[in-house]
Chain A
């Protein structure tokens, strides 16, 4: 009996430190931010925090800037992830079928992924510079008009998508290549013997067999894509106006330019909510598709 009691105490001694650590590191900031999101907290001018209920959220939902940033984020993410997937899968297929020099490509294709996004954005700012950048030089040489890449809404978004694609296609390539290499090669030999063309082999065999992996890869890229901030921050700062402002950048600007911490917290939670809703819908649809195909 006493032995059982002391064991019970030991159990608590092991459990509580871990629980408190998780509470302190992970749950406390979340809960703190949640509380702040229901308050009006301004650092400049410093005012005592005031409970405002759902006012911050209401203001966000009524603000055109929020919906604009939603649209920008969704556009950049969906366009870039779609391109990343198609290009990444195509490159993986090429590498899988051992095009000449595949091992060299394998390394060079992965390099962009290892660069810091801020660095990539800085390089891109040079390349797409309206007057000094090589892209406009090329356009002029080819007889096209001069494009103000970073100061007009459409081209600026296109440049952001391009950078995302450039940097993150290797990630898709890497995972899809791993997936391709894990497929049983006898299945493809069987298809060859049965005279199935490469095109049909891809659509009827490779693609369905890799669909579960594709769903996961696209999901990772969507969630990551939604958080895009550094490239936008460096390249356009959200401009012209707020034409390229993403959700995260909007939250950053509220917090660290206007020092409106209550609003920033509310934005962050709205962002979390948006990602969860998007993610859930995506996964539900994808799961139905996967179940039907595999």
Chain B
């Protein structure tokens, strides 16, 4: 039985429906990440789970218990907020222990759990400081500690790393992931950062306009995106999409002919109109190799590899090539294409073919 169940959950603000009926099952101990562009309803979904937002319809169950209309405090969730939401007038120790103190947990237990959490999060030197005397990363650790000590059924994270600098974000995401795995607590994590989603999640839910576009493990999401939106959203730099047609076992785009891998040729057959998708990092040599020539407009050396940005017909193309690849801005550029990694989408529905 799933640990957290959302069944036909909807949310409307006045006449505007932001979440059409949504179904989501989360297993016990699973690390689930909700990801999508801003305004896609991921935070609203999380807040409905927390009880901070009233649902307009549907049912939410946690551990088999119907919590749809319970107040936030009765759901046994612990939440970590984007801007930490620490109590500014309490020390780190008081912040972490506050909820337990209010609920009458014995002093010895509080002290023990605060100590345990602070050891786990490296907060011991700061226990008697106020939040304003801490850095962003330390504050977020306190917020996580405050959630940890409650031993909740579910952890809820609302973009907890977006206020941190890039380096700290990378460190913290590993820490959170390890911590969650060690505790085995079910976690729901909201982010707009697809890298964060891919690196942390057992399963990623990609949302757009309140609708789940695809829910799958990170590798499936990357290798077999269900539609053009997911293909575009997952992966950085984003996938290239070229209008094409299929004829004689080849992709024909802008007059260039790229032979298909045999299984794709057999599966897809000839088609008048199709969207050919290829990731920049798959513009490389392979046994089923084709080549593509486009006008290079800019060259961005990143060190380990170089990005070539350009146009083919009217469409933008990005290729990821070796640093020593011979290319110059303003010149035509021919890159190899690994046709085993090609993706095809229906031009009308955007669905994967």
Q: Which residues of A contact B (CB under 8 A)?
A: 184, 186-187, 189-197, 200, 204-205, 208-209, 293-294
Contacts and interface: CB of A to CB of B under 8 A. Distances in A.
A205 B99 CA distance: 12
A187 B146 CA distance: 12
A193 B86 contact: no
Contacts of B99: 194-196
Given A190-B81, A293-B89, A195 B103 contact: yes
Contact of B77 (A187, A193, A294): A193
Contacts of A192: 51-52, 71-73
Interface in B80-95: 81-89
7 contacts: A189-B79, A189-B85, A193-B79, A194-B78, A195-B71, A200-B102, A209-B89
Nearest to A185: B85
A193 B78 contact: yes
B71 A187 contact: no
Given A193-B72, A205-B87, 16 more contacts: A184-B85, A186-B85, A189-B72, A190-B79, A190-B81, A190-B85, A190-B86, A192-B52, A192-B72, A193-B78, A193-B156, A194-B78, A195-B71, A195-B72, A197-B102, A204-B102
Contacts of A184: 83, 85
Q: Interface SS of chain A: helix, strand, loop or mixed? A: helix
A194 B71 CA distance: 11
A193 to B, nearest CB: 5
Nearest to B158: A186
Contacts of B51: 192-193
B266 interface: no
Interface of B: 50-52, 71-74, 77-79, 81-89, 98-99, 102-103, 143, 146, 150, 156
A194 B78 CA distance: 7
Contacts of B78: 193-194
Contact of A189 (B71, B81, B88, B150): B81
A197 B71 CA distance: 11
A-B residue pairs, 9 tightest by C-beta: A195-B73, A186-B85, A194-B99, A190-B85, A192-B72, A294-B89, A193-B79, A208-B89, A186-B81
B133 to A, nearest CB: 13
Nearest to A294: B89
B309 to A, nearest CB: 40
Contacts of B73: 192-196
Contacts of A209: 88-89
Contacts of B87: 187, 191, 204-205
Contacts of A208: 89
Contacts of B86: 187, 190
Nearest to A205: B87
A201 to B, nearest CB: 10
Among the interface residues B88, B103, B150, which one has the most CB atoms of the partner chain A within 10 A? B88
Among the interface residues A184, A193, A196, A293, which one has the most CB atoms of the partner chain B within 10 A? A193
Nearest to B50: A193
A161 B25 CA distance: 62
A294 B88 contact: yes
A144 B342 CA distance: 93
Contacts of B82: 186
B65 to A, nearest CB: 15
Nearest to A189: B52
A216 B82 CA distance: 31
Among the interface residues A190, A196, A197, which one has the most CB atoms of the partner chain B within 10 A? A190
Contacts of A294: 88-89
A205 B98 CA distance: 11
Contacts of A205: 87
Nearest to A194: B99
A268 B85 CA distance: 50
A195 B152 CA distance: 12
Contacts of B74: 195
B89 A194 contact: no
A123 B84 CA distance: 52
B84 to A, nearest CB: 8
B52 A193 contact: yes
A191 B98 CA distance: 9
Contacts of A186: 81-85
Contacts of B81: 186, 189-190
A162 B78 CA distance: 47
A191 B51 CA distance: 12
Contacts of A193: 50-52, 72-73, 77-79, 156
Contacts of B88: 187, 209, 294
Contacts of B143: 190
Contacts of A200: 102
B70 to A, nearest CB: 10
A294 B143 CA distance: 19
A191 B146 CA distance: 11
Contacts of B72: 189, 192-193, 195
Contacts of B79: 189-190, 193
Contacts of A187: 85-88
A294 B337 CA distance: 62
A169 B84 CA distance: 35
Contacts of B98: 194, 196, 204
A143 B92 CA distance: 59
A196 B103 CA distance: 8
B150 A194 contact: yes
